[in-house]
Copies of this chain bind each other. A is one copy, B any other.
Amino acid sequence: MPQFFTPKQVSRAIQVSESSVKRWCDKDIIPTQYTAGGHRRIVLSELIEFLRCSKHEIVRPEVLGLPATSGQSIRVIDRSAEQLAEALLQGDEEQCRRIVLDLYLAEHSISTICDLVFVKAFSVIGNRWQCGDAEVYQERRGCELAMRVIHELHKLVPIPKEDAPVALGGAAEGDLYNMATTMIELVLRDNHWNAVSLGYNLPFHTIEAALKQKSPKLFWLSVNHIANESDFIQSYNQLYSQFGNSIAFVVGGRALHEDIRKQIQYATYCDNIRHVESFAQTLMSAAKT
């Protein structure tokens, strides 16, 4: 909850001496703000960033008012998805936050967390539902919770610079799933793109307007549901013929099966978030040289 911490709080949380924390602040290892009287105040996001880059762990998270960790930070990501699925099904917001924050602190990349934890958790939830072990409302509530946690991760990612390359994306008309596109926005920002999600259920004509006005370097389209396939293909191809030369089209989503992929053009098709990340990294380094 709290935005700021004193050196003493931080020192107790990670069990080092207060002196060390103060020294790190002075050496700018932990970027620090100061009160008018000269007392150090450490911002949560800076602390998280520091913890990720150092080998220190939060031994006593309760000192910082952070969700209580079960013990040590999670190095093994496998079981996390199931744990998260359980927490999402139960509607346990604290637990969700704890799992994700722990993984983030353990230096797992955001894209990995998205793929192996979030996406996988919802796959687990889907299976449960098919077995009759979960209600629809549990899945929906889980989506709400997940979106909230994703937004919180968003705040831990540094704000992209003004001159960062622009990326734009969303989910097309008829597609009601905006979690994927929000995750892509998050991961691209984590990779220093100026990424903006336009949300879901986007008519093609407004995508066209957005691409024209913003002229991004990268455009992503998440396709989880297609109302009318031939309409979709026609609209998409018109969009691609207009911008495909100047903008990298990244497409993905479970509705884009092979039949459809054969009929459309794109720069890359991605099965998961890490594919998107890799492509974005390649594109950016190519643009630099």
Contact = CB atoms under 8 A, between A and B. Distances in A.
A49 interface: no
Interface in A1-58: 1-4, 15-16, 20, 24, 29-38, 41, 43, 45, 50, 54-57
B210 A137 contact: yes
Given A141-B198, A151-B148, A198-B141, A15 B20 contact: no
B15 A3 contact: yes
A155 interface: yes
Given A20-B35, A31-B57, A56-B34, A198 B140 contact: yes
Interface in A174-208: 176, 178, 182, 196-203, 205-207
A84 B151 CA distance: 20
A1 B154 CA distance: 11
Contact of A135 (B2, B20, B137, B209): B209
A143 interface: yes
A213 B91 CA distance: 13
Contacts of A116: none
A199 B202 CA distance: 19
A247 interface: no
A148 B2 CA distance: 18
Interface string A205-219: 111011001000000
A63 interface: yes
A170 interface: yes
A283 interface: no
Given A15-B3, A16-B35, A196-B91, A202 B57 contact: no
Interface string A134-153: 01110011011001100110
Contacts of A226: none
Contacts of A65: 3
A59 interface: yes
Nearest to A56: B34
B3 A206 contact: no
Contacts of A200: 140
The 3 closest A-B pairs by CB, nearest first: A136-B206, A34-B55, A140-B199
